């Protein structure tokens, strides 16, 4: 019996100490728990916050793992009632988090902290608003956009004007046919113009849909319009483009031969032209500084067809900082996200990333911040960087294009929409299992069913009516 | 008879000692099993309160989710074709390596080696081997004048590609068969020789019956393992092309951790349990017809 008592007493004492210690340590200082990316640049940025906010104790937890894994961690923490005070989210998922009632609306903080929507790139701010209740749920941190990149040497070799990229879809299809190359066994050895996500392009589907005048959802995201005639037409063209470069199976097989970094397909001439993100500039500077490349915006096809006018269009994603529901220190949390997305935080991040690139002996090119004034500083910093004029001009163009950018429709079914439009439904068309119309009709039905389910749930819970 | 338990005090001490394990089992294994059963009748998205929906999840699964059937078909395809192939091949290799020849240990190691490669590393390696343009398999096929298929890029060939890749890892089963072969008593072979049996007859009437419990074990484990196939598809094909490698557990994973339909995913998990249960029961029922236990 004595031994049993001893074990019991020791365990009780142990638990008592742990509990007391936890309570004491959390009560003594205003701690702020932040779940965000790690690494040298980020950690330097957090340190700068800590320096300027000595009364807040920043507890930083680096987010590791991929997209899915990070999401699961945050979800379990929120569900378990122990969320961090601040979390880093993919902006196009903000609406999903909001629909699940996992985030704190930020509207009431805006006047108090003198934050104004006009300080941020409009689209990035809007993307953080949940369209069902029109509340702001995150502050946008960074963004990106998509452009056409092409290899001028390949253009010259093929007898094309290296300084001009064709504008119409018909011309672009011709270009693709002309520049796609096969070996004697029929294997693809070069894709002429990559426009399909995962097969050399990034974000092509979205931006081309808008360029063609298509809409993916209604304004308040209650109805899916993925089978919009203009989107069907877009998908049809994507199928033609893919068939022109050997068909999807051969393109996928070709993809298996691609490398990364200096061996990336665009840098070694395995892709002649592509729609890709502005981050490509930094990759060029780092891995292919002598690449003779051209860059141009994607233009609105609908407007061009009517008025012969060139109006750019692009597509932006990016990240944001949000405050989970049930955060213990929401006021300091807002101060943190205001700071980190604002002029001081972005400056700290930029300085840290320039210093880091320098220490690694790498060239540096800026990312696009959501905070407008920060981007001016970024371009000034770029001017002093030892990168080619072509890269500087390209970066400048990518910054200017933000005025024309759009973002994926905000809805709790956004991820499903992405899986269909960049995956399942698109592949059904690319593999010729269904016509583009049939594929998008079916996808529309599936996404709408999921959306209706979420809407039912949301309307019941909030007592609001959207339909 | 030895008296193990002396008094009450010792019983209590014993329970305290195993308490961490009991708690772990309860909280992390039995608890979730019960919870998933309850959630399978609920609409549950983790963060919002679960809502009871009766049999809706099961109904939706069986009636209105085409991907459910597709993923089930894909998984059964892998099981029906992959498992027997795996058994035949691993048994054949085991028989070859049971010949008491020179270099036997070396070859056993060589054949066993792939099965200790982690699934992730194996997947990455096979993405190269299966590459239609620069991969080893299509290169070898081209040497004998065959134009290899598109493998993972092809809807038709993606599953066979996974099966071939699975055959690379027969080492685990091979070792089990080798152990089984060691247990076949030599006197049975001797008796068969005296009776004038040839090699095939010896295999058919001595080795196979004596090995049947081992084959049975490998069969059951193979079926259960293959019904849960996930990693390769997650890494190599993301379920594509055209959902050709969207396996059951992968679909379940998508539903649970991408769409947060935990209720639906729980229902899927229980359905899989039922399938495994039925498959195993059928196997157990059929077993007496072909599995021979020496002790009987």
pLDDT at B296 over 50: no
What is the C-alpha to C-alpha distance for residues A345 and A88, in angstroms, rounded to an integer?
Answer: 14
Task: Specify the pLDDT at position B134.
Answer: 85
pLDDT tens-digit readout, A65-75? 777 787 888 88
pLDDT, average across residues A243-262: 92
Same CATH fold assignment for domains A29-143+317-359 and A146-315+393-452: yes
Cβ contact (<8 Å) for A4 and B16?
Answer: yes
pTM for the model: 0.86
Closest residue on chain A to B237 (Cα): A252
Substitution target in A69, A247, A253 with the highest count of B β-carbons within 10 Å is A253
The segment(s) of chain B belonging to CATH 1.10.3720.10 are: 55-290
The distance in angstroms from the start CA to the end CA of chain A is 68
pLDDT tens-digit readout, B273-293? 999 999 999 999 998 888 888
Cβ contact (<8 Å) for B241 and A4?
Answer: no
**Contact indicator for A219, A131 with CB cutoff of 8 Å:** yes
Cβ contact (<8 Å) for A431 and B155?
Answer: yes
Provide the chain A residues 29-68 that lie in CB contact (below 8 A) with chain B. 68
Mean of pLDDT over chain B:
90
Closest residue on chain B to A424 (Cα): B242
pLDDT at A13 over 90: no
Task: Specify the pLDDT at position A139.
Answer: 97
Q: Quick check: helix, strand or coil at residue B75?
A: helix
Cβ contact (<8 Å) for B131 and A257?
Answer: yes
Most confident range (mean pLDDT) of A99-103, A240-244, B204-208 is: A240-244
Tokens of B54: 């009766």
Ranges A12-21, A45-54, A130-139, B131-140: which has the least confidence? A12-21
Dihedral, CA atoms, A46, A51, A52, A58, nearest 10 degrees? 50
Q: For chain A, what percent of residues have pLDDT higher than 70? A: 95
Integer CA distances (angstroms), A345 to A112, A351, A382, B156, in order = 19, 10, 18, 52
Substitution target in A249, A426, A430 with the highest count of B β-carbons within 10 Å is A249
Q: Helices (DSSP H) in A128-226: which residue ranges?
A: 152-157, 169-179, 204-211
pLDDT, average across residues B255-277: 92
A415 touches chain B (CB under 8 A): yes
Phi and psi dihedrals of A345, rounded to 5? Answer: -65, -45
Integer CA distances (angstroms), B253 to A174, A221, B247, B250, in order = 42, 26, 10, 5
Cβ-nearest to A187 among B46, B133, B257: B133
Task: Specify the pLDDT at position B147.
Answer: 86
Q: pLDDT band for B119, please (50, 70, 90 cuts).
A: confident
Cβ-nearest to B258 among A4, A68, A431: A68
| Cross-strand pairs, A59 | A33
pLDDT at A454 over 50: yes
Strands A139-143 and A368-369: antiparallel
Phi and psi dihedrals of A130, rounded to 5? Answer: -85, 115
A256 touches chain B (CB under 8 A): yes
Closest residue on chain A to B157 (Cα): A249
CATH class of the domain at A29-143+317-359: alpha beta
pLDDT at A405 over 50: yes
pLDDT, average across residues B58-71: 92
Closest residue on chain B to A70 (Cα): B257
Task: Specify the pLDDT at position A337.
Answer: 96
pLDDT at A23 over 80: no
pLDDT, average across residues A457-462: 92
- E strand residue ranges, A27-119: 30-36, 56-62, 86-90
Give just the sign of the alpha carbon dihedral A157, A159, A165, A166. Answer: negative
Give just the sign of the alpha carbon dihedral A40, A113, A78, A67. Answer: negative
A461 touches chain B (CB under 8 A): yes
What is the C-alpha to C-alpha distance for residues A124 and A141, in angstroms, rounded to an integer?
Answer: 8
The CATH code for residues A146-315+393-452 is 3.40.190.10
What is the C-alpha to C-alpha distance for residues A266 and B293, in angstroms, rounded to an integer?
Answer: 63
pLDDT at B56 over 60: yes
- DSSP-assigned letters across all residues of B33-53: HHHHHHHTTEE--SSSPPEE-
- Find chain A residues with C-beta within 8 A of B128's C-beta: 256
Substitution target in B6, B13, B133, B235 with the highest count of A β-carbons within 10 Å is B133
Q: Give residue limits of the domains in chain A.
A: 29-143+317-359, 146-315+393-452
Tokens of A272: 């002649």
pLDDT, average across residues B264-281: 94
Cβ contact (<8 Å) for A256 and B134?
Answer: yes
* Whether complex ipTM tops 0.85: no
Task: Specify the pLDDT at position A256.
Answer: 87
pLDDT tens-digit readout, A85-116? 999 999 999 999 999 888 999 999 999 998 99
Q: Helices (DSSP H) in chain B: which residue ranges?
A: 8-24, 31-39, 56-63, 66-77, 83-96, 104-112, 119-129, 136-143, 158-167, 171-182, 186-194, 199-202, 208-227, 231-236, 248-253, 262-290
Cβ contact (<8 Å) for A256 and B135?
Answer: yes
Task: Specify the pLDDT at position A1.
Answer: 57
Task: Specify the pLDDT at position A20.
Answer: 66
Cβ contact (<8 Å) for B46 and A428?
Answer: no
Mean of pLDDT over chain A:
93
Cβ-nearest to B13 among A3, A78, A431: A3
A102 touches chain B (CB under 8 A): yes
What is the C-alpha to C-alpha distance for residues B254 and B65, in angstroms, rounded to an integer?
Answer: 13
- CATH of B55-290, picked from 3.30.465.10, 1.25.50.10, 1.10.3720.10, 3.90.280.10, is 1.10.3720.10
pLDDT tens-digit readout, A325-366? 999 999 999 999 999 999 999 999 999 999 999 999 999 999
Task: Specify the pLDDT at position A2.
Answer: 66
Task: Specify the pLDDT at position A327.
Answer: 93
What is the C-alpha to C-alpha distance for residues B281 and B70, in angstroms, rounded to an integer?
Answer: 24
pLDDT tens-digit readout, B27-53? 999 999 999 999 999 998 887 788 899
SS3 content of chain A, % helix, strand, coil (to 5): 50, 15, 30
């Amino acid at each position: 019996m004595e031994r049993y008592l001893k074990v019991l007493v020791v365990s009780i004492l142990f638990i008592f100490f742990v509990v007391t210690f936890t309570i004491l340590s959390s009560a003594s200082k205003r701690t702020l728990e932040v779940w965000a990316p790690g690494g040298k640049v980020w950690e330097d940025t957090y340190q700068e916050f800590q320096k300027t906010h000595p009364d807040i104790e920043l507890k930083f937890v680096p987010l590791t793992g991929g997209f899915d894994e990070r999401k699961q961690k945050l979800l379990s923490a929120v569900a378990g009632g122990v969320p961090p005070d601040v979390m880093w989210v993919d902006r196009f998922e903000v609406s999903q988090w909001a629909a699940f009632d996992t985030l704190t609306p930020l509207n009431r903080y805006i006047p108090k902290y003198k934050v104004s929507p006009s300080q941020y790139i409009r689209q990035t701010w809007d993307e953080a608003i949940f369209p069902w209740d029109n509340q702001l749920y995150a502050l946008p941190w960074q963004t990106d956009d998509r452009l056409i990149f092409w290899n001028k040497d390949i253009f010259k070799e093929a007898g094309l004007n290296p300084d001009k990229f064709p504008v119409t879809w018909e011309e672009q299809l011709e270009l693709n046919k002309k520049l796609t190359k096969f070996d004697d066994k029929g294997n693809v050895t070069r894709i002429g113009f990559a426009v399909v996500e995962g097969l050399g392009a990034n974000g092509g589907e979205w931006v081309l849909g808008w360029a063609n005048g298509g809409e993916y959802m209604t304004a308040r995201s209650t109805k899916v319009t993925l089978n919009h005639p203009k989107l069907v037409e877009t998908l049809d063209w994507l199928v033609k483009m893919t068939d022109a470069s050997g068909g999807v199976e051969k393109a996928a097989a070709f993809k298996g031969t691609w490398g990364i970094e200096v061996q990336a397909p665009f840098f070694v001439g395995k892709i002649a032209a592509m729609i890709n993100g502005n981050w490509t500039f930094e990759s060029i500077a780092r891995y292919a500084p002598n690449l003779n490349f051209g860059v141009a915006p994607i233009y609105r096809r609908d407007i061009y067809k009517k008025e012969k006018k060139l109006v750019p269009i692009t597509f932006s994603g990016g990240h944001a900082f949000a405050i989970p529901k049930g955060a213990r220190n929401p006021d300091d949390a807002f101060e943190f996200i205001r700071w980190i997305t604002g002029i001081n935080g972005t400056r700290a991040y930029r300085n840290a990333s320039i210093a880091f690139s320098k220490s690694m002996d790498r060239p540096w090119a800026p990312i696009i911040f959501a905070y407008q004034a920060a981007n001016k500083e970024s371009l000034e910093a770029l001017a002093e960087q030892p990168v080619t004029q072509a890269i500087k001009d390209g970066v400048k163009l990518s910054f200017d294009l933000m005025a024309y950018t759009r973002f994926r429709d905000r809805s709790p079914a956004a991820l499903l929409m992405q899986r269909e439009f960049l995956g399942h439904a698109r592949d059904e068309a690319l593999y010729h299992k269904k016509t583009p119309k049939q594929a998008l009709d079916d996808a529309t039905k599936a996404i709408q069913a999921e959306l209706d389910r979420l809407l039912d749930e949301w309307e019941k819970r909030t007592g609001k009516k959207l339909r | 008879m030895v008296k193990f338990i002396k008094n009450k005090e010792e019983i209590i001490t014993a329970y305290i000692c195993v308490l961490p394990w009991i708690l772990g089992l309860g909280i992390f294994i039995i608890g979730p099993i019960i919870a998933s059963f309850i959630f399978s009748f609920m609409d549950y998205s983790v963060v919002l309160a679960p809502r009871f929906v009766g049999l809706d999840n099961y109904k939706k699964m069986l009636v209105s989710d085409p991907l459910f059937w597709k993923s089930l078909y894909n998984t059964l395809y892998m099981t029906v074709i992959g498992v027997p192939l795996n058994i035949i091949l691993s048994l054949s290799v085991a028989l070859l390596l049971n010949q008491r020849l020179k270099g036997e240990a070396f070859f056993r190691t060589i054949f066993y080696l792939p099965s200790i490669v982690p699934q992730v590393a194996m997947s990455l390696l096979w993405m190269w081997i299966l590459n239609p343009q620069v991969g080893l398999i299509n290169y070898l096929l081209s040497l004998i004048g065959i134009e290899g298929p598109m493998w993972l890029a092809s809807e038709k060939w993606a599953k066979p590609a996974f099966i071939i890749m699975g055959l690379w890892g027969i080492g685990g089963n091979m070792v089990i068969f080798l152990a089984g072969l060691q247990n076949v008593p030599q006197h049975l072979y001797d008796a068969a020789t005296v009776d004038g049996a040839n090699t095939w007859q010896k295999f058919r009437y001595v080795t196979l019956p004596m090995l049947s419990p081992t084959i049975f074990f490998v069969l059951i484990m193979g079926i259960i393992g293959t019904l849960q196939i996930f990693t390769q598809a997650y890494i190599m094909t993301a379920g594509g092309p055209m959902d050709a490698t969207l396996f059951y557990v992968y679909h379940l994973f998508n539903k649970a951790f991408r769409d947060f339909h935990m209720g639906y995913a729980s229902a899927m998990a229980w359905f899989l349990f039922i399938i495994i249960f039925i498959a195993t029961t059928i196997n157990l029922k059929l077993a007496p017809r072909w599995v021979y236990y020496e002790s009987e």
